[in-house]
Each structure stands twice: as C-alpha cells, then as structure tokens.
Chains A and B, each alone.
Chain A
Amino acid sequence: MSAQTETEYTPIENTPAGRKLGGPVGWLDDRLGLAGAAKKNLRKVFPEHWSFMLGEIALWSFVVLLITGVFLTFWFQPSMSEVEYHGPYGPLNGLEMSQAYQSTLKISFEVRGGLLMRQMHHWAAALFVAAMMAHMLRVFFTGAYRKPREVNWLIGVGLLSMGMVEGFAGYSLPDDLLSGTGLRFVDGMIRSIPLVGSHLEFFIFGGEFPGNEIIPRLYMAHILLIPALLLGLIGAHMLLLVYHKHTQWPGPGRTNDNVVGYPMLPVYAAKAGGFFFVVFGVTALMGAFLQINPVWTIGPYNPSEVLAGSQPDWYMGFSEGLVRIMPAWEWTFFGLTWSFGIFVAGVGGLGLIFTSLALWPFIERWITGDQREHHLLERPRNAPTRTALGVAAMTFYACGWLGGGNDIIATKFHSDIFTITWVLRIGIIVFPIIAFIVTRRICIGLQRADAERVLHGYETGVIERSPEGGYAERHAPLPVTEQYVLTAHERKPELTGPAETDENGVRAPKAERSKLRARLRRFYYEHTLDKPTAHEVEHAAEHLGEFDGHPSEQGEDFQGVSESGIPRVH
C-alpha cells in the first residue's frame, strides 16, 4: 500500500512496454493496416442492461464447450467395437461394452481432471442452449429483431436449432444405456418419416439399428461439422451486432438515432472479458459439486434394457413430451404404413416452433406495415399482442415439456399418469389460448398503470384528512426522466381500413389481401392503449399543481413513503 498519490498518465507510446511493442505493432500495421479499423472500433459504444448479458452467457459457454471438448477428444474413442471392461470401477468389471463407453469410463475414473471436464462439458452444453433460449426470448419480447436486424434473428434461429442438434449428438456418444435409449427413440422417429423413413434409417445407422456406424458418425458431426457451422454463424452474428450497433432501452438522451453507453476499450472489454471467467468459473464449480450424467451407474447400452424415468437432456424434453402426449395416429393407405403420431410430434413439433420463429419478424412487419429501422427496445407491455403471442408459444412449449416429464410428475405428485397425459393433450391447445388472452389483458393493465402514473403522479403514501372527514392519498408528479421513459414508446397508428377502390373507382387490386392485412392489423393493435398526448399531460400537470398542500412542502428530496412508512427513494 504505497503512499503515492495520483500518478500522471503516460501516453502508451512513451511507456517501456509501449516502446517495446511499437516495433511489432508497426510491423503488423505496415502489412495489415489495422489502425484504421482500430481507431473506429476500439472505443465503440455498447449500451448497458442486464438482459444484454444473456447472449454473452451463450457465447462464453460455447467457448467453455470448445476448451473442455478438445480435452475430451484426447481420450474418447468413438467406436462401437466390443471390449471387455477391466478398470478401476469394480461393478462393471468383466462386462462387455463398446469402446466408446469404455473410454468414457476411462475419462471419468483414470484421467485426472477428466471427470471434471466431462461434467463441465455437459453442464456448459445445458447452459449454452438455455442461454440461447433466454437470449432469444429477450430479443423477441423487446422487439429487438425488427428492421434492420431480421437477418441476425434468422442466424440466431439457426444457432439455436443447430445447438440443440449438437447437444443431442454429444450426449448420444458415451453409448451408455440412457444415450442408447435416446438413439433408439430417434431410430423410431426416423422410421416414421413417410415414404423414405426406412431408407433414412438404414443410411444413417449404416444398416439395422444400432449398427456399427452411428457413434463414429455422430462424433464427426459433433466435433467437426456442427461446431464449424456454429462457429461461422457466431462470427456472422457478432459482425452484424457490431455493424448494426446494439439496441438500447429508451431513456433520457437515448433515442433511435444514437447509442449511449460505455466504450469497448476499456470498460466493455473488461466487463465482457471478465464475464468469460465468471461463466468458466461457474461451470467449473457446477462440474465439481453437481453430478451430471453418471454413466457408470447406468451401465452400457443394451437394446433389451431400459431405465424407468428415462429423460433426454432438457432441451429435447419438448419433443419427447409431444411424442408422449400424442394419440396413436397410425394409418394404412396405399398399402403403406403412415405413423403420423410419431412423425407429427417428433419431427413436426420442433419444425413448427423453428418455422414460426424464422417467419415471425416478416409476418409482424407485414401486419404492422412498419418499414422503419428500430434501434429502441419496446417494453413487452407496449406490444401487447406480440407479448401475448410469445407467452402463448411459451405455454405451448411448456405443455410439451411437462409432457416429457409426465412419468416423473406422476410418481413425485402421486397422480395418475393417464390423467396428466389427457390434461396435456387438451391443454396444449387450450392453455396457449388462455395464456394469450390473460397476457394481453395484463399488458393492457400495465399500460393503463403507466398512463396513470404519468397523468396522475405516483402515490406518495401520505394520507390526508379533509375538513369533511374524508381520507385521500396524496399524489405527486413523477420525476420528468421517469415520465419520459414511460412515454418514449411508439404511438399507436391510426387503424384505417384499406381503400376498397382506387381513385378511378375501380376495385383495388389485391383487395382481399389488403383486407386480410387490415383485419390482422386491427387484431394486432386494437386493444393497445395509446400513450397520453401532450395536451393530456399538460392538463394533468396543471391539475397536480393546483393540488393544495403539495408534498414538495415536505422538502426538495421528498419522494413519498413506502407501505412501511419509510421515506421512499426513486
């Protein structure tokens, strides 16, 4: 702890390190010309909000996956050749198993740090998909995917779908009883594909299930093909992020034309870079204290055995659940068997989700007709229909997901599995509709509350008694910055119907389409509460001003009292 006070700042080129590095940096710039890009980007501004961190979790858990994954490849043997186990884990001694399973045991018991890396790899994978989904929900509910970011949204949809396939390929590799059961399920699903099911099955598995080929093939996809695609898409995702500049929440001085925040160098680089260590640290602690996929207790794969309560990794739970709650739809026509139940649930469920995700920005833009660029985020309540649709989709997903655990729910809550399944069969259609209606009403209620706070001020908690003996609570105007935040969103557009005829009285072309569009537009906006007008605010301010005994008498910094009687701080 030196007694030295504030030291003078020395320009980087005059420091010893700067002088030493000057040569090599100059050498590089002579060849690569980086100074131009550096001067433009090193102080690039990133706005701050906790929700912008979700994508970062996904990015850094992907880096953790790359690091731990490379370590695992040093020992893992992607082979289905039969070997007899002789190793430190006694209970399996003498058992026949594949080399894949044997090498997984070796990583877990013989390679020092191997178990930690395996568990970190598996946890980071679960975290990777979870963070991507949370990030995507953030982007959806704040409208961040709107023009000009639609392409980045599509890249994100690609990343999420490929991340899930990558995860599945990974947890299928150890060839233990659980992963083999997952592959058996996939085999059944592939077979159900109309017309070409058997061909696909035989080509993917290299013959009849389980065959010799599936684990080496999944390994290639898992460590080469899909990671390369993911890496490329992540690069494109980040480049577009830099090009478009990050979206920001509206606030004082934060408009659609600027971006306000901290510069990349040094603050954002330190925060984002430091966050990598946090994500790595958290996954390492999870690997140390939270067991995941103990393959040795499950035993090697055997197609005539299964675990009760078999579950896929969490992100496949939705598909698994749809397959569980689907009725037995299998028909024979044209002399062929059509297993629609499995096909629709297993292949169609995720297909529906990803197709809707990819199309939504374009559908919304067609409905709203909004051709402008949007860089300000919308609070979910200010887009009630979008928010309600999002919650309806989440409810649909949740029903599938609950279905994937119907056996666990039945045993843990001592309930009837057939009842749970039937509730979900009906619920997956009914609950999203209810969720839509309820969410839209909640959004509108919140919009009303916002308008109320702008026009009538906030509740101070100060109760007054009038000379007549009536009691009333004092209201006081919000600080102007808060009033601004509450009214910074878009005004509701006028909902005029389309022109039925053109100026010459001829029926307008594409009239049906325009009508549909106008109808959808009314559906999209009709219940949205418009924000107060300037006139209304002026009027309300007068009203609040004339209020006798304004709480500002309580002092300049008075901000009301809370329910517990303690002065409130905004």
Chain B
Amino acid sequence: MSDLDIRQTQGSNEPIPDPGLQEHQYRPQDVDESQARRTERQISAMFLIAAVLFIAFAVVYFAVEPEETIFGWSAQNTGFGFTLGGAMLLIGVGIIQWAKKLMGDHEIVEMRHSAASSAEDRTEALAVINTGVEESGIGRRPMIVRSLGLALGALGVPAVVMLRDLGPLPYGHTETVWKKGMRVVVDVTGRPIKPSDMRVGDLINAEPSVFFETDEDGNRVFHGTELMQAKAKAAVIVVRMRPEAITPKKGRENWGVDGILAYSKICTHVGCPISLWEQQTHHLLCPCHQSTFDLADNGKVVFGPAARPLPQLPLAVDSEGYLIATSDFPEIVAPSYPRLAHDQKKLDEQA
C-alpha cells in the first residue's frame, strides 16, 4: 500500500458521456429474402466445390506418378496441396460467410465480474485451510515436517544421479587424429597432394589420410559417429601463397612447404567449417558468423566474433614428395570451452 497507488478511477470529468450501444444495422440478407437465398447458394457452392476437390485429391493419389512434374514442380505435391488446401480454404470461408451473413448478428451484452472471489469465499477458504493445517498438526510437530522436507530434498539425489549416464565426463579437446607423418589428402577423393599440384592462390579442402584407410579386414578405420567426431576436429584447408607474403611467427618458419600452409578448417568461434577464401588478401571468411582470419599472418583474427586464431598444422613432404603433417595441431581446435586455457597450457608444456 502506498500513496502512489491508484485503486479507483477518480472523478467523472468525462468529456463525452457514453452514448450507449448503437442501433443494430440490418444487412441486405436480413431485409431481402432473395439476397439471403443468394448468399445461401454461394456458401453451398463453396462446400460442394470443396467436396469435389477432396475427390480430386484421391484421383491425384492414384493417377499421378511421383516423378511427374508440372511447371517444374512435383505434380503430385502440387496436386495434393492444391486440392486439399483449396477444399479446406473453401470450407473455412464458407462457414465464416455463413456466420457473417446469415446467422443472427445481434450483439449481446454480458456483465463482467471481478476476477477475485468474494470476501466471504476468501474467509471461508482460509478457514478451511486453517482447519486442514490444524488437523494435520504441522504447527505442533516440526520434527515431522523437517524430516519430510529433508527426505523430499534427498529425492533430488536419485534424480540427478540417474542423469549421470547422459554422457561421459568431459575431457579436453587437445588431440585430433593428426600424427607425425600422416598424409594430407583431398577431402572427397582421398588423393594425396604434391606441392606441385598447387598453384599460388589455390585452396584445397583436406583431411588426414587415415579417414580413407582400411584395416586388414578391409573395413574402414573410421566410420559412422567416430568419423564424424574425428572430422569435426581434424578437417583442414591447405592454401598456397607467395612465400614472401607469409609472415610466420617465431618457431613457425618451417611449418609450410614453398608457401603451402595448412590450417584447421573448424572455426574457433562456434565450429563452422570455414572455406570462403580471398586469394588476394589471404583472408579466410567463415560463412556462419563472418569471423575472418589472415592465413598469411598465422591465422590471426582480423574481423568478427572469433577470439582465437585458426590453429595451424605444421607441414612437410615425405620421401615420395606428398604433403604430410609433422605433428598434431599445437593449438586447440574448434570452439572454446571452460578448461581450454588450462589444456592449452598443458599442450605448450609438452611441446
């Protein structure tokens, strides 16, 4: 309660008194029976056409083959939608027309009542509650109430424990499948890449060769969910730039081969694969949230919401002249997580 509250409309300095409900306006259908019959015929026609359209739906079902097209659309889908939608729309419009033009249109007035119960009801309800509380003895037996509270609180234990198996406990994302000596291969075909395959400005979407390898029984080493999980961290893009354009950080001078560098393809922001490549500026743009990375400058973020540079995969060539990784990513790939700083520190220490 405060002096600022408004509880009642004060005064009645109303400029215009309520003129009261307006007189009922007659519709053409109310005064002219021929108009009313015409409207009735129109509405019935809508319902009849609707019935015909439903039958046409069944005709489409049996007569139109799934591969047939009309105006470049699927003939079946168009036929189904047109007949079903048209029929339903006509039924709806017909019913609404009926209500608007033929049904009685006298407005009626209903009085409102306060949403609250009456004061007597409130008093009685309170008395009933008091009787219940009194008979339960809650007030007199605090021990029983407290122990019940404790027991119900402990119900949370099984509820929470049961959810434990939703998934394993988290571990850091410090490792990917990249290993020293693993070939960098084209992502669709699995073909290994020779430096001479790439010209300055080229970009190749690549993956570790292990995704295309089979074990001794001829089964793929990675498939299904494991393949998806591994890909979500190990996908890379390989680009070739002019060696003089590249400004490697200290210690990264020998991570490329003749201006060919490999970076994680997974955005450090929220994990979209990045591959919108501007060869002249060496910028790589993520199509999801437009984080932009400079690949000539160690994958540095030049714009957008990503906070960490793109991790770089150190490259070399093997004895046959194909591109290989010389180690796993020295930085954590994919989106940040709470213990990232901690895990990165461990990685740095290992190196």
Contact B15 A454 (CB under 8 A): yes
The segment from B17-25, B196-204, B320-328 found at the interface with A is: B17-25
Option from A257, A284, A454 in Cβ contact (under 8 Å) with B81 = A284
20 other contacts beyond A203-B167, A484-B17, with CB at 8 A cut-off?
A81-B224, A82-B223, A112-B80, A202-B169, A202-B170, A209-B232, A245-B110, A252-B19, A267-B104, A273-B95, A284-B88, A287-B81, A302-B228, A310-B287, A327-B305, A328-B305, A336-B338, A372-B7, A454-B16, A521-B4
Q: Beyond A207-B168, A252-B19, A262-B105, is A192–B336 a contact (Cβ under 8 Å)?
A: yes
A208 to B167, CA, bound (A): 9
List of A residues within 8 angstroms of B167 by Cβ: 202-207, 211, 213
Option from A188, A278, A487 in Cβ contact (under 8 Å) with B270 = A188
Option from B4, B168, B266 in Cβ contact (under 8 Å) with A517 = B4
Closest A residue to B267 by beta carbon equals A188
CB distance from B232 to the nearest CB of A (A): 4
- A and B contact pairs by CB, cutoff 8 A, 30 listed: A81-B224, A184-B232, A188-B269, A192-B335, A198-B337, A203-B163, A203-B166, A209-B271, A213-B167, A257-B112, A259-B110, A260-B21, A260-B107, A270-B98, A274-B94, A289-B82, A303-B235, A305-B273, A306-B287, A324-B290, A328-B301, A337-B337, A337-B340, A339-B307, A372-B6, A372-B8, A406-B290, A407-B287, A454-B16, A484-B18
Contact B303 A371 (CB under 8 A): no
Q: Is B52 an interface residue (CB 8 A)?
A: no
Option from A44, A185, A201 in Cβ contact (under 8 Å) with B288 = A185
List of A residues within 8 angstroms of B105 by Cβ: 262, 267
Contact A481 B22 (CB under 8 A): yes
Quick one: CB contact mask for B40-51 with A, threshold 8 Å, 1 for yes?
010000000000
CB distance from A270 to the nearest CB of B (A): 4
Option from B6, B115, B232 in Cβ contact (under 8 Å) with A493 = B6
List of A residues within 8 angstroms of B33 by Cβ: 5-6
Q: Is B78 an interface residue (CB 8 A)?
A: yes
Contact B96 A275 (CB under 8 A): yes
Q: Is B28 an interface residue (CB 8 A)?
A: no
Within 8 A of A (CB), among B214-228: 223-225, 228
List of B residues within 8 angstroms of A352 by Cβ: none
List of A residues within 8 angstroms of B80 by Cβ: 112-113, 116, 288
Within 8 A of B (CB), among A271-315: 271, 273-289, 301-310
List of B residues within 8 angstroms of A289 by Cβ: 73, 78, 81-82
The segment from A129-137, A157-165, A394-402, A529-537 found at the interface with B is: A529-537
Contact B187 A304 (CB under 8 A): yes
Q: Beyond A184-B270, A267-B104, A308-B287, is A253–B92 a contact (Cβ under 8 Å)?
A: no
Contact A181 B92 (CB under 8 A): no
Within 8 A of A (CB), among B197-256: 205, 207, 223-225, 228-229, 231-232, 235
Q: Beyond A203-B163, A211-B225, A253-B21, is A285–B82 a contact (Cβ under 8 Å)?
A: yes
A307 to B275, CA, bound (A): 10
Closest B residue to A480 by beta carbon equals B19
List of A residues within 8 angstroms of B180 by Cβ: none
Contact A243 B112 (CB under 8 A): no
Contact A330 B336 (CB under 8 A): yes
A483 to B273, CA, bound (A): 63
List of A residues within 8 angstroms of B99 by Cβ: 266-267, 270-271, 274
Closest A residue to B61 by beta carbon equals A112
Contact A258 B111 (CB under 8 A): yes
List of B residues within 8 angstroms of A176 by Cβ: none
List of B residues within 8 angstroms of A345 by Cβ: 305
Contact A185 B272 (CB under 8 A): yes
A484 to B173, CA, bound (A): 70
Contact B6 A288 (CB under 8 A): no
Q: Is A69 an interface residue (CB 8 A)?
A: no
Q: Is A199 an interface residue (CB 8 A)?
A: yes
Contact A326 B305 (CB under 8 A): yes
Contact A277 B338 (CB under 8 A): no
List of B residues within 8 angstroms of A533 by Cβ: 13, 15
Within 8 A of A (CB), among B261-311: 265-266, 269-276, 287-291, 301, 303-308
Q: Is B182 an interface residue (CB 8 A)?
A: no
CB distance from A324 to the nearest CB of B (A): 5
List of A residues within 8 angstroms of B225 by Cβ: 80, 210-212
Q: How many residues of B contact A (CB 8 A)?
A: 112
Closest A residue to B17 by beta carbon equals A484
Within 8 A of B (CB), among A224-278: 243-245, 252-263, 266-267, 270-271, 273-278
Closest B residue to A321 by beta carbon equals B289
Closest B residue to A307 by beta carbon equals B287
Option from A212, A260, A284, A341 in Cβ contact (under 8 Å) with B85 = A284
Contact A329 B168 (CB under 8 A): no
> Which of B4, B10, B96, B265 has the largest count of A CB atoms less than 10 A from its CB?
B4
Chain B positions within 8 Å of A, measured between CB atoms, are 2-11, 13-22, 33, 37, 41, 61, 66-67, 73-74, 76-78, 80-82, 84-96, 98-100, 103-105, 107-112, 114-116, 163, 166-170, 173, 187, 205, 207, 223-225, 228-229, 231-232, 235, 265-266, 269-276, 287-291, 301, 303-308, 334-342, 345
Q: Beyond A81-B224, A260-B107, A328-B304, is A245–B272 a contact (Cβ under 8 Å)?
A: no
Closest B residue to A276 by beta carbon equals B92
Q: Is A38 an interface residue (CB 8 A)?
A: no
CB distance from B68 to the nearest CB of A (A): 12
A304 to B205, CA, bound (A): 9
A532 to B14, CA, bound (A): 8
CB distance from B64 to the nearest CB of A (A): 9
Q: Is A504 an interface residue (CB 8 A)?
A: no
List of A residues within 8 angstroms of B90 by Cβ: 281
Q: Is A375 an interface residue (CB 8 A)?
A: yes
Contact A259 B109 (CB under 8 A): yes
Closest B residue to A532 by beta carbon equals B15
List of A residues within 8 angstroms of B14 by Cβ: 487, 534
Contact A275 B92 (CB under 8 A): yes
List of A residues within 8 angstroms of B16 by Cβ: 454, 480, 483-484, 487, 537
Q: Beyond A252-B18, A282-B85, A282-B89, is A369–B269 a contact (Cβ under 8 Å)?
A: no
Q: Beyond A281-B89, A324-B289, is A368–B6 a contact (Cβ under 8 Å)?
A: yes
Contact A306 B20 (CB under 8 A): no
Contact A253 B163 (CB under 8 A): no
CB distance from B334 to the nearest CB of A (A): 8
Contact A267 B8 (CB under 8 A): no
Contact A303 B269 (CB under 8 A): no
Option from A6, A198, A201, A418 in Cβ contact (under 8 Å) with B303 = A418
Contact A266 B103 (CB under 8 A): yes
List of B residues within 8 angstroms of A421 by Cβ: 290, 303-304
Contact A208 B229 (CB under 8 A): yes
List of B residues within 8 angstroms of A1 by Cβ: 37, 41
Contact B270 A189 (CB under 8 A): yes
Contact B103 A245 (CB under 8 A): no
Q: Is A88 an interface residue (CB 8 A)?
A: yes
CB distance from B159 to the nearest CB of A (A): 14
Closest A residue to B211 by beta carbon equals A304
A266 to B108, CA, bound (A): 13
Contact B21 A306 (CB under 8 A): no
Contact B111 A257 (CB under 8 A): yes
CB distance from B161 to the nearest CB of A (A): 13
Q: Is A100 an interface residue (CB 8 A)?
A: no
Q: Beyond A6-B33, A306-B273, is A110–B66 a contact (Cβ under 8 Å)?
A: yes
